[in-house]
């Protein structure tokens, strides 16, 4: 029996079916990663291969279930089975360990809980255009985090593993006395910038639970005494007088109205000579005939995540320009990643717009 061709005249091949099967079963592997990360089993393998029975006994799990789960994830490249019933980490699997640099353990837990449940209600989003998370939990995502400190800590840890956008290296920060990172999580951006500029001070405006992790991280680097910590939301009044303000991966989480509110808070706090750096992935069309790069593909998957979880989205350069102008800024330039292999994030550099009144005052 042959498969009838579709309207385009090409019947799906065995390879097409395998591709779809890989996509459809990907959630099984993701939930397996979640279960192992939650149980702590990857941490038990950091010293070398161990029998599944020993791992199960130490983790308080069922031995047969542990063995079958590890075998399944070995098929996905996360573990090896050097001898029957004995398992070892691969470099990919090591990312589920707590002590790995930029560990993905917290992300695996977050994806396995709130994110997984929200994707289970994606038909709600398809019908309404509203986040499935809101319908499932009865409140927006960030309100939920405010009510769930443990979940908020997991979220902060997961977000803290993302690298600082490489395009920031293109921005001239020489002579900056104070850099204010608004919504800067665990202080990753300040941890990268301050060592390069010994005369610079930092300020971090974040929610209280995130500031705890930031103090610990920056303290371990010997930088805490150069940073002022301000507890609060970016919808609250922000630290004033900074030379440079940064919003890294903040605006894309919010709809236009809320994004402009955040930008206006920055504008209120910023002196006339200040600069704003907006670090975001830009929604850019792929030229006809070009292949979708891995970075662009990842961006589209992240946008799908945001579709079910949040009210924001990745915007184009012109859309961000519109938001900035509505909040009283003028875009000076856009810094792009230097290498195609970098995450496809850009830095939009903006300055306070000069109003007619201000311009007249300067002329006098």
Average pLDDT in the 69-89 region? 96
Q: What is the pLDDT of residue 337?
A: 74
Find the range with the poorest average confidence among 45-49, 57-61, 91-95, 336-340.
336-340
Taking 50 as the threshold, does the pLDDT of residue 178 lie above it? yes
Query: If you average pLDDT over residues 109-116, what whole number do you get?
Result: 94
Residue 140 has pLDDT above 60, yes or no: yes
Q: Does the pLDDT value for residue 363 go beyond 60? A: no
Q: Could you tell me where the DSSP H helices lie in the chain?
A: 14-39, 52-59, 63-75, 91-94, 105-110, 116-119, 122-128, 132-137, 141-147, 149-160, 188-193, 208-220, 256-269, 294-309, 317-326, 356-363
Residue 301 CA, distance from chain mean position: 12
User: What CA–CA distance (Å, rounded) separates 46 from 54?
Assistant: 14
Residue 359 pLDDT grade (very low, low, confident, very high; cuts 50, 70, 90) = very low
Tell me the CB-side half-sphere exposure of residue 62, using CA atoms within 13 A. Answer: 5
Q: CA 12, CA 5: separation in Å to the nearest integer?
A: 8
> Would you state the pLDDT for residue 4?
55
At residue 288 the predicted structure's pLDDT band, cuts being 50, 70 and 90, is low
Average pLDDT of the chain to the nearest whole number: 89
- Helix axis angle for 317-326 and 256-269, nearest 10°, is 60
Q: Is the pLDDT of residue 160 over 50?
A: yes
b vs e for 289-327, b when ≥16 Cβ sit within 10 Å of the residue's Cβ? eeeeeeebeebeeeeeebbbbbbbebbeeeebbebbeeb
Give the residue-averaged pLDDT of 277-298: 76
Lowest mean pLDDT among 95-99, 284-288, 306-310, 337-341: 337-341
CA 323 to chain centre: 21
CATH C-level class of 105-159: mainly alpha
The answer on pLDDT for 2 being more than 60 is no
Q: Which residues contact 131 (CB under 8 A, 6 or more apart)?
A: 118, 125, 140, 141, 307, 308, 309, 310, 311
3-7: average pLDDT = 57
How does residue 190 score in pLDDT terms, banded at 50, 70 and 90? very high
The domain defined by 25-94 carries CATH number 1.10.357.10: no
Reported as a pLDDT band with limits 50, 70 and 90, residue 294 is: confident
| Tally: H helices and E strands in the chain | 16, 10
pLDDT band of 83, cuts 50, 70, 90? very high
pLDDT at 361: 41
Tokens standing for 265? 């808070």
| Rg of the chain, C-alpha, whole Å | 23
> CA-CA distance, 164 to 79, in Å (whole number)?
29
In terms of average pLDDT, the best of 41-50, 301-310, 338-347 is 41-50
Q: How far apart are CA 260 and CA 121, in angstroms?
A: 29
pLDDT at 305: 93
Give residues with Cβ within 8 angstroms of 119, minimum separation 6.
27, 132, 308
| Higher pLDDT among residues 303 and 87, named by residue | 87
Same fold, 25-94 and 105-159: no
Please say if the pLDDT value at position 22 is more than 90.
no
Enumerate residues 6+ apart whose C-beta is below 8 A from 153.
209, 213
Q: How many CA atoms lie within 13 A of 102 on its CB side?
A: 7
Q: Is 40 exposed, middle or buried (0-12, 13-18, 19+ CB in 10 A)?
A: middle
pLDDT at 354 over 90: no
* Residue closest to 206 by CA, chosen among 234, 228, 227: 234
Quickly state the pLDDT bin for 8 (edges 50, 70, 90): low
Q: What is the mean pLDDT of the segment spanning 215-239?
A: 93
Q: From CA 347, how far away is CA 332, in angstroms rounded?
A: 11
Tell me the average pLDDT across 136-152. 90
Residue positions annotated with a catalytic role:
252
Domain parsing of the chain, residue ranges: 25-94, 105-159, 162-284+310-363
> Which range has the worst mean pLDDT, 96-110, 209-223, 290-304?
290-304
pTM: 0.81
Q: pLDDT-based confidence at 360, cuts 50/70/90?
A: very low
How crowded is residue 240: how many other Cβ atoms within 10 Å of its Cβ?
Answer: 12
Question: How open is the CA angle 194-183-327, to the nearest 5 degrees?
Answer: 110
Residue 154: which pLDDT band, with cuts at 50, 70 and 90? Answer: confident
Query: Could you give the count of Cα atoms lying within 13 Å of 335 in the half-sphere of its Cβ?
Result: 18
* Residue 80 pLDDT > 60: yes
Q: Write the CA distances from 35 to 19, 124, 179, 191, 345, integer angstroms.
A: 25, 26, 40, 32, 31
The answer to whether 239 touches 269, Cβ cutoff 8 Å, is yes
Q: Does domain 162-284+310-363 have CATH number 2.40.160.20?
A: no
Task: Evaluate whether 250 touches 281 at the Cβ level (below 8 Å).
Answer: no
């Amino acid at each position: 029996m042959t498969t009838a061709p579709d309207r385009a005249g090409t019947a799906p091949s065995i390879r097409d079916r395998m591709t779809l099967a890989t996509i459809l079963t990907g959630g099984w592997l993701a939930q397996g990663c979640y279960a192992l990360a939650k149980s702590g089993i990857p941490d038990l393998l950091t010293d070398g291969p161990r029998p599944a029975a020993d791992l199960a006994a130490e983790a308080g799990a069922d031995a047969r279930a542990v063995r079958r789960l590890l075998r399944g994830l070995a098929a996905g490249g996360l573990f090896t089975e050097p001898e029957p019933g004995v398992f070892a980490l691969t470099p990919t699997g090591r990312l589920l360990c707590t002590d790995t640099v930029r560990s993905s353990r917290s992300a695996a837990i977050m994806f396995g809980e709130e994110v997984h449940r929200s994707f289970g209600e994606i038909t709600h989003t398809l019908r309404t255009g509203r986040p499935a998370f809101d319908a499932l939990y009865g409140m927006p995502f960030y309100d939920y985090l405010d009510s769930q400190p443990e979940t908020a800590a997991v979220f902060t840890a997961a977000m803290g593993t993302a690298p600082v956008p490489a395009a920031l290296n293109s921005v001239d920060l020489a002579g900056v006395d104070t850099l204010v990172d608004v919504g800067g999580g665990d202080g990753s951006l300040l941890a990268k910038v301050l060592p390069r500029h010994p005369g610079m001070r930092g300020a971090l405006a974040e929610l209280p639970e995130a500031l705890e992790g930031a103090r610990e991280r920056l303290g371990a680097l010997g930088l805490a005494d150069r940073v002022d910590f301000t507890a609060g939301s970016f919808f609250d009044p922000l630290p004033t007088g900074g030379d440079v303000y940064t919003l890294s991966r903040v605006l894309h989480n919010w709809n236009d109205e809320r994004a402009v509110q955040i930008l206006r808070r920055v504008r209120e706090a910023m002196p006339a000579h200040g600069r704003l750096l907006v670090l975001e992935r830009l929604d850019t069309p792929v030229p006809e005939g070009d292949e979708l790069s891995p970075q662009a593909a990842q961006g589209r998957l992240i946008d799908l995540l945001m579709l079910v979880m949040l009210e924001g989205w990745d915007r184009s350069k012109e859309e961000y320009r519109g938001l900035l102008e509505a909040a009283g800024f003028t875009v000076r330039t856009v810094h792009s990643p230097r290498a195609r292999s970098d995450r496809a994030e850009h830095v939009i550099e903006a300055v306070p717009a000069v109003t007619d009144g201000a311009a007249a005052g300067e002329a006098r």
